Amino acid sequence: MTLVVILTVRCEALDAFRAYERRAAAVMARYGGAIERTVVTAPDGAGLTFKEIHIVTFPGEHAFSAYRRDAELGAVAHLRDASVVHTEILPGEEGPDYHVGPG
Q: What are 73-88's pLDDT values in tens digits?
A: 999 999 999 999 999 9
Cut 0.85: pTM above it: yes
Residues 6+ apart with CB under 8 A from 55: 2, 3, 4, 5, 35, 36, 37, 38
Report the C-alpha dihedral over residues 101, 90, 21, 79, rounded to 10 degrees. 160
Residue 43 and residue 45: Cα distance in Å, rounded?
7
Please say whether the beta carbons of 55 and 95 come within 8 A.
Answer: no
Q: Per-residue pLDDT averaged across 53-75, rounded? A: 97
CATH classification (class only), 2-92: alpha beta
